[in-house]
């Protein structure tokens, strides 16, 4: 087991039974002209975490961990988009409307792709999700059970929306969850901080949080030899 210095207490996990989940690092949320910008947000805030998420992805690949990438996306006919979601936002800037990167939040469009520096590679899972949570209407739950996964390490955007919803869904399903604090971001810094705080409150009511450095140190420390692996 690997022991990470985390909040509210040490997070212990077995990398062989762990998946890294990178939530929605898509052009639609990180670049001008996508869904995030259509909602009136400053997307540059989210771009700041890209190098950290890249390092986390490299670390997980080096450890041979399962990597899961999610994309918030809808079918071109929007049959999987709830009316409450379809009609939100300003007319002309809603899900399915044409934008500079193609139809907003529609599967297969340029804006819906994961940013190039975090692109999935062979054997990594790509999960298209019509909701905020990664379990809702995706079939991911059955796949994780079949794979024997017990621990989930989370990164991605946005902290209080799709990341937190996915983490809460996972918590209800019995997964032990760790959110990497500097590998997640929100359009609203106060919401990010509040989310980190509420996850670890009450003895870790939703899960644990830690920095990438703490995860890296834990994975590279050899307890037997009291040094780096």
Chain contacts with ligand TIU (rule: CB under 6 A): 24, 29, 39, 72, 157-158, 161-162, 187
Which CB atom, from 38 or from 65, has the smaller least distance to ligand TIU? Answer: 38
Q: How far is CA 168 from the centre of its chain?
A: 12
To 5 degrees, how large is the angle CA 54–CA 173–CA 202?
80
| Least distance from ligand TIU to the Cβ atom of residue 23, Å | 6
Backbone angles phi, psi at 152, to 5 degrees: -125, 130
Q: Is 123 designated active site?
A: no
**Helical segments of the chain, H only:** 27-30, 35-38, 44-47, 50-63, 83-86, 140-147, 164-172, 189-204, 212-220
129 is catalytic: yes
Decide whether 43 or 149 has the Cβ nearer to ligand TIU: 43
Q: Which residue, 151 or 187, has its beta carbon nearer to ligand TIU?
A: 187
Strand pairing category for 11-13 and 2-4 = antiparallel
* Closest CB to ligand TIU among residues 62, 197: 197
DSSP 15: G
Least CB distance from residue 56 to ligand TIU, whole Å?
Answer: 17
Indicate which residue of 7, 81, 132, 162 is catalytic.
162
**Which residue is catalytic, options 129, 177, 182, 192?**
129
Instruction: Report the nearest approach of ligand TIU to the CB of residue 10 (Å).
Output: 28
Is 81 catalytic? The answer is no
- Tell me whether residue 24 or residue 181 sits nearer to ligand TIU (CB atom): 24
182 half-sphere exposure, CB direction, 13 A CA radius: 13
Question: Burial of 166 by CB count in 10 Å (0-12 exposed, 13-18 middle, 19+ buried)?
Answer: buried
Q: Would you state the torsion angle of the CA atoms of residues 82, 186, 57, 228, taken in this order, to the nearest 10 degrees?
A: -140
Smallest distance from the beta carbon of 166 to ligand TIU, in angstroms? 9
Question: Considering 24, 132, 182, 192, which one is annotated as catalytic?
Answer: 24
Whether the CB-CB separation of 56 and 155 falls below 8 Å is answered with: yes
Active site residues: 24, 129, 162
């Amino acid at each position: 087991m690997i022991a990470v210095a985390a909040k509210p207490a040490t997070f212990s996990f077995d990398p062989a039974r762990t998946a890294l989940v990178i939530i929605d690092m898509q052009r639609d949320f990180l670049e001008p002209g996508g869904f995030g910008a259509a909602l009136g947000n400053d997307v540059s805030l989210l771009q700041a975490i890209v190098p950290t998420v890249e390092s986390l992805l490299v670390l997980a690949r080096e450890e041979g961990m399962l990597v899961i990438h999610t994309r918030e996306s809808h079918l071109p006919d929007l049959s999987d988009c709830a009316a409450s979601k379809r009609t939100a936002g300003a007319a002309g800037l809603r899900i399915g409307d044409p934008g500079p990167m193609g139809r907003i939040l529609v599967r297969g469009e340029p804006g819906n792709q994961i940013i190039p520096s975090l692109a999935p590679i062979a054997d990594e899972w790509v999960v298209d999700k019509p909701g905020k949570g990664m379990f809702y209407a995706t079939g991911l739950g059955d796949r994780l059970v079949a794979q024997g996964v017990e621990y989930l390490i989370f990164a991605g955007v946005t902290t209080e929306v799709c990341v937190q919803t996915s983490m809460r869904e996972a918590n209800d399903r019995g997964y032990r969850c760790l959110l990497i604090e500097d590998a997640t971001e929100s359009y609203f810094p106060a919401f990010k901080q509040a989310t980190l705080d509420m996850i670890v409150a009450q003895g870790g009511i939703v899960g644990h949080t830690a920095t990438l450095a703490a995860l890296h140190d834990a994975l590279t420390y050899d307890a037997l030899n009291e040094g780096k692996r």
